[in-house]
């Protein structure tokens, strides 16, 4: 059973695989409503009886005594001047990674904890997969075995059919790609997705911390956390910019009151060799993957732009003292061939030459995301209810025997926002599962996940995969399905697959 105080971030992270299709196809909303009814049962309702008339009003009837947190949060009546209309809001920092707020631009992703004095943010890029082979293995040729496998299945001999499949894969030389678990052979999955790096932003804890709030603006993808303590009001803002393909963080504080200890943590990658250079204001990371799997790697450049105060490099990152604010921009590039540590230099030069304008970059996001989000809306609740946090909405759903219309409206928007930020330059959402024929759920990237990035299917944002067969040809399975776009245009942003001039 879900806890009443759990944040909407956790809920929607678990919902997004099923909500992709439902929230981009209005004809499937009936099934989505049925799924939401099941959700209400999961959070503690004894039944689901359709959308409520809500005669009692809304926020004034919530039992806030059961929503007490170590940091007092901003009450709902004061949020109208703060929150955007289409938001995901939480009244407590994330206590674990599953509760982090997530945003991205398809190509890049940030996850943020929202902790005031120990903010943890992870950064990744859509092509960062740890190699597991030098060349992508082709699927085994199962054609000679298929008639017998079909016959065994028709005769109800599932175990014999399974054994024959295992035998066929072994004879094809695929035993080295199989995992032995409970006497069943499982093929090794695609390359493991990993983070590029993690940044921890620590600052001295202060007394009288209050007025906490964190939220995601679904019109531009910006995550904001804010609070007040004895020194004044503080705000952290993060998004992944479509213009320039950079991650952007901004930290604001009362004049001279920003003191940050920034530490960088690297992912653990088997057989990889990282090279980390820390200068005043710039961190450069070049990581070579396991050389047994080719000359591949990735480069990261992080640029620190303080407003006032002092900045000094440390062994693990950067120290900011007595500043009014800080902007951090980062660039992540993956290289599929000819990678050397020198590949980081053009990435570094490009980021240092970039004119960083926080507001201009954010406007670019508003144009890209906002236009797509505005193509479809459902209105089920009042503007007042849209100010409620995920914790408060789940509490309300938990205590009533009915569907909560505000929660459903937010889930509808979140499903579409997740699809936009998950759909990048090269492959469809890897973790998003479109329900491709109403009953059969399949990962939209199954064919593309094991292919090189240069040959993976390019699908623009807001795309639905139509039902299609898999055509088996000698030595290769090919996706021959069609795609239906919701009017999105293919991005002109390009990826770099080899080291050298773009």
User: Would you kindly state where each structural domain of the chain is located, as residue ranges?
Assistant: 1-92+357-422, 117-127+193-355, 133-189, 434-502
Closest C-alpha to 28, from 479, 460, 439, 458: 439
CB under 8 A, 24+ apart: contacts of 53-60 = 54/405, 58/381, 58/382, 58/384, 58/385, 58/388, 58/396, 58/406, 59/384, 59/385, 59/387, 59/388, 59/392
Q: Which residues contact 359 (CB under 8 A, 6 or more apart)?
A: none
Q: Is the distance from CB of 448 to CB of 477 less than 8 angstroms?
A: no
Of the chain, the end-to-end C-alpha distance in Å amounts to: 51
In whole angstroms, what is the distance from residue 477 CA to residue 323 CA?
A: 57
In whole angstroms, what is the distance from residue 264 CA to residue 330 CA?
A: 13
Q: What is the largest CA-CA distance in the chain?
A: 77
**So what's the pLDDT on residue 187?**
63
**So what's the pLDDT on residue 44?**
37
In whole angstroms, what is the distance from residue 119 CA to residue 298 CA?
A: 25
Helix (H, G, I), strand (E, B) or coil at 42: helix
In whole angstroms, what is the distance from residue 72 CA to residue 486 CA?
A: 42
- Which two structure tokens, joined as six digits, stand for 461? 């944002």
Helices (H), 155-219: 158-171
**So what's the pLDDT on residue 186?**
62
**So what's the pLDDT on residue 53?**
39
In whole angstroms, what is the distance from residue 235 CA to residue 254 CA?
A: 10
Q: Which CATH number fits domain 117-127+193-355: 2.30.30.60, 2.70.180.20, 2.70.98.50, 3.40.30.10?
A: 2.70.98.50
Q: Is the distance from CB of 329 to CB of 246 less than 8 angstroms?
A: yes
Q: Which residues contact 383 (CB under 8 A, 6 or more apart)?
A: 85
In whole angstroms, what is the distance from residue 459 CA to residue 192 CA?
A: 21
**So what's the pLDDT on residue 497?**
62
**So what's the pLDDT on residue 230?**
94
Q: Phi/psi at 114 (nearest 5 deg)?
A: 80, 15
Closest C-alpha to 395, from 85, 9, 37, 45: 45
Q: Is the distance from CB of 67 to CB of 91 less than 8 angstroms?
A: yes
**So what's the pLDDT on residue 172?**
85
- Which two structure tokens, joined as six digits, stand for 137? 């293995």
Q: Which residues contact 341 (CB under 8 A, 6 or more apart)?
A: 275, 286, 288
In whole angstroms, what is the distance from residue 410 CA to residue 415 CA?
A: 9
- Which two structure tokens, joined as six digits, stand for 380? 């089920």
Closest C-alpha to 488, from 425, 412, 413, 410: 425
DSSP-derived secondary structure letter, 245: T
Going residue by residue through the chain (502 aa), what tens digit of pLDDT does each one get?
Answer: 344 344 455 445 444 434 433 333 444 444 444 444 444 444 433 333 333 334 344 444 555 555 688 999 999 999 999 999 999 999 999 999 999 999 999 999 999 999 999 999 999 999 999 988 887 778 888 899 999 999 999 999 999 998 898 888 888 888 777 766 656 666 666 678 899 999 999 999 999 999 999 999 999 999 999 999 999 999 999 999 999 999 999 999 999 999 999 999 999 999 999 999 999 999 999 999 999 999 999 999 999 999 999 999 999 999 999 999 999 999 999 999 999 999 999 999 999 999 999 999 999 999 999 999 999 888 999 999 999 999 999 988 888 877 889 999 998 999 889 888 888 887 665 554 444 333 333 343 333 332 333 323 333 333 333 333 322 223 322 222 222 223 333 334 454 566 754 4
In whole angstroms, what is the distance from residue 112 CA to residue 328 CA?
A: 14
Q: Is the distance from CB of 329 to CB of 247 less than 8 angstroms?
A: yes
């Amino acid at each position: 059973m879900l806890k009443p105080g759990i944040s909407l971030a956790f809920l929607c992270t678990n919902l997004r695989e099923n909500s992709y299709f439902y929230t981009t196809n209005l004809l499937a909303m009936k099934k989505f409503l049925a799924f939401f009814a099941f959700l209400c049962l999961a959070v503690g309702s004894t039944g689901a009886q359709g959308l409520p008339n809500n005669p009692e009003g809304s926020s004034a009837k919530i039992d806030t005594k059961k929503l007490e947190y170590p940091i007092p949060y901003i009450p709902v009546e004061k949020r109208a001047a703060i929150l955007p209309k289409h938001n995901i809001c939480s009244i407590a920092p994330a206590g674990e990674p599953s509760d982090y707020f997530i945003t991205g631009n398809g190509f890049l992703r940030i996850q943020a904890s929202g902790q005031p004095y120990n903010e943890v943010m992870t950064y990744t890029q859509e092509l960062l997969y740890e190699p597991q082979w030098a060349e992508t293995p082709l699927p085994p040729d199962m054609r000679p075995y298929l008639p017998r496998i079909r016959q065994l299945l028709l005769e109800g001999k599932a175990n014999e059919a399974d054994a024959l499949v295992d035998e066929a894969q072994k004879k094809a030389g695929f035993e080295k790609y199989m995992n032995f678990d409970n006497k069943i052979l499982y093929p090794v999955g695609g390359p493991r997705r990993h983070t590029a790096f993690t940044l921890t932003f620590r600052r001295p804890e202060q007394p009288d911390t209050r007025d906490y709030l964190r939220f995601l603006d679904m019109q531009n993808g910006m995550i904001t956390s804010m609070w007040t303590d004895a020194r004044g009001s503080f705000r952290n803002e993060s998004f992944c910019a479509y213009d320039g393909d950079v991650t952007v963080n901004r930290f604001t504080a009362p004049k001279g009151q920003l003191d940050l200890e920034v530490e960088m943590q690297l992912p653990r990658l088997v057989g990889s060799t990282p090279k980390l250079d820390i200068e005043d204001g710039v961190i450069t990371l070049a990581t070579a993957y396991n050389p047994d799997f080719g000359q591949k790697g990735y480069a990261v450049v992080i640029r620190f732009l303080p407003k006032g105060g002092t900045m000094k490099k440390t062994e693990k990152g950067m120290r900011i003292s007595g500043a009014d604010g800080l902007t951090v921009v980062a660039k992540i590039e993956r290289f599929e061939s000819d990678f050397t540590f020198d590949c980081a230099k053009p990435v570094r030069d490009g980021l240092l030459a970039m004119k960083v304008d926080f507001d201009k970059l954010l406007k670019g996001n508003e144009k890209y995301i906002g236009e797509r989000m505005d193509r479809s809306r459902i209105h089920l609740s009042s503007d007042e209810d849209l100010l409620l946090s995920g914790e408060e909405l789940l509490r309300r759903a938990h205590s009533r025997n009915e569907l909560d219309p505000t929660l459903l409206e937010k889930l509808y928007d979140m499903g579409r926002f997740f699809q936009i930020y998950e759909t990048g330059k090269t492959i469809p959402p890897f973790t998003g599962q479109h329900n491709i024929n109403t009953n059969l759920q399949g990962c939209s990237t199954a064919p593309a996940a094991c292919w090189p990035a240069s040959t993976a299917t390019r699908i623009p944002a807001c795309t639905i995969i139509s039902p299609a067969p898999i055509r088996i040809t000698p030595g290769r399975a090919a996706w021959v399905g069609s795609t239906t776009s919701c009017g999105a245009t293919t991005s002109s942003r390009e990826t770099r697959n080899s080291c050298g001039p773009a």
